[in-house]
Structure 1
């Protein structure tokens, strides 16, 4: 199932949480090194723009990369727009969120080829789902790991389980990822928070290993979580 409705709800939750954001709060540091809340908002907004461009072009039969270095300076755009006022950030984020949802509503084949991750249009939906919920935590505007829907947390662990070193498995209830003898257990939201770097592993039991890099580029879909014995 492609979670377009779930991503639209994530958009709505984030937009509501930003209602009371002030210009001063935009300029305050975020948990991400060197980034203010404005930088995080600029990143989430521009990622929405890039995904909307990719989907809209794909619907016209045109393949474009998510970020074309010949036409878009990703870091430069973030730096240039981080200093927007709170109202400007809200308007820009809403504009590109709506564009993206409207483009997805016109998709008839989620397996249609695109120049992004696993090569399917469906990957844009899952990427945006991760982008919104994970960076909502970084924004510290009242949305935290506890607000992550359980199905999102399961997806996040599916996606991020590649960060686990060999020989280590993680388990949440009757779900288990990996096949190692060493095991980290806990609620699925806590596992997702740790694997995404949004917690130090609070709520988890077991020896927490050093995690590998964030998955990037084209990749095979992760194997589904299997029921633990």
Structure 2
């Protein structure tokens, strides 16, 4: 599958426009993520771009490096250390890291997308899809006007694909606005219906414009897809 490089670049442009009028007080204010300010979300988006650029840079040299040498503790420490930047600092650092990531992608070439990386035991292509998810989902978390109904349809469809493992085995997911149905296991469980953006938002733990429906009530969501991936067993 073609990695959505053009689509991610457009998401970066939407994010830049969203942040253009942001002031320092707004950066310090709470985001939609419990315990995180908008500065934390921005620090995460910035370092996520740096991390994916690092993985791709090494992969193009035939090298495998961990996403974070210090694991999740290092990731969290970087976010905490940089969350307090002022608005201008966040904009500048995010722009620099985003440009670095996009520049590396321009060097990959058709044959390079399948080069392996340690992130989810996947390849460079998978990190492009991951960045697409990160950009649009966290734009909602910034609580600056972007909502799941603003997500591109293809991003929403991809998010349902990626998050399907959060549903109990046997669950079916049916989009009302697309000729598409997803299922886990033998389809003996609940059938969840809704518009594809609403389905994606609900499965991502965000607030949809209209909550999807299931005859016996929506099933509970399991954890976010783990890293590294795990089979259902």
Q: 1:62 to 1:118 in 2, by over 3 A?
A: closer
122-131 or 61-70, larger mean C-alpha shift: 61-70
Following superposition of structure 1 onto structure 2, how do residues 34-113 of structure 1 map, counting pairs within 5 Å? Answer: 34-69=35-70, 73-108=74-109, 109-113=112-116
C-alpha change, 1:81 and 1:21, in structure 2 (3 Å) is same
1:78-157 matched pairs, under 5 angstroms: 78-108=79-109, 109-157=112-160
* Cα distance in structure 1, aligned partners of 2:67 and 2:43: 16
**What is aligned with 1:219?**
229
Unaligned runs of 5+ in 2: none
CA distance in 1 between partners of 2:229 and 2:113 (Å):
17
How big is the alpha-carbon RMSD for the aligned residues of Structure 1 and Structure 2? 1.8
Q: How far, CA to CA, are the matches of 2:12 and 2:148 in structure 1?
A: 16
Equivalent residues of 2:199, 2:208 under 8 A apart? no
CA distance in 1, matches of 2:174, 2:97: 36
Q: What TM-score do the two structures reach when normalised by structure 1?
A: 0.91
- 1:119, distance to aligned residue in structure 2 (A): 2.2
Shift, 1:169, TM fit: 1.1
CA contact (8 A) 1:119 1:218 kept: no
Secondary structure at the aligned position of 1:214 is classed as coil
Q: Offset at 1:61?
A: 2.2
Preserved contact between residue 67 and residue 119 of structure 2 (Cα < 8 Å) = yes
Matched residue count: 220
Kindly indicate whether the alpha-carbon contact (under 8 Å) linking 2:169 and 2:189 is maintained by their aligned counterparts in 1.
Answer: no
Distance 1:118 1:73, change over 3 A: closer
Give the conservation status (yes or no) of the 8 Å contact 1:118–1:220: no
Deviation >6 Å, runs of 4+:
none
TM-score by length of 2: 0.90
Shifted more, 103-112 versus 145-154: the winner is 103-112
Deviations, residues 159-181 of structure 1 (Å, cap 9, x unaligned): 00110012221110321111344
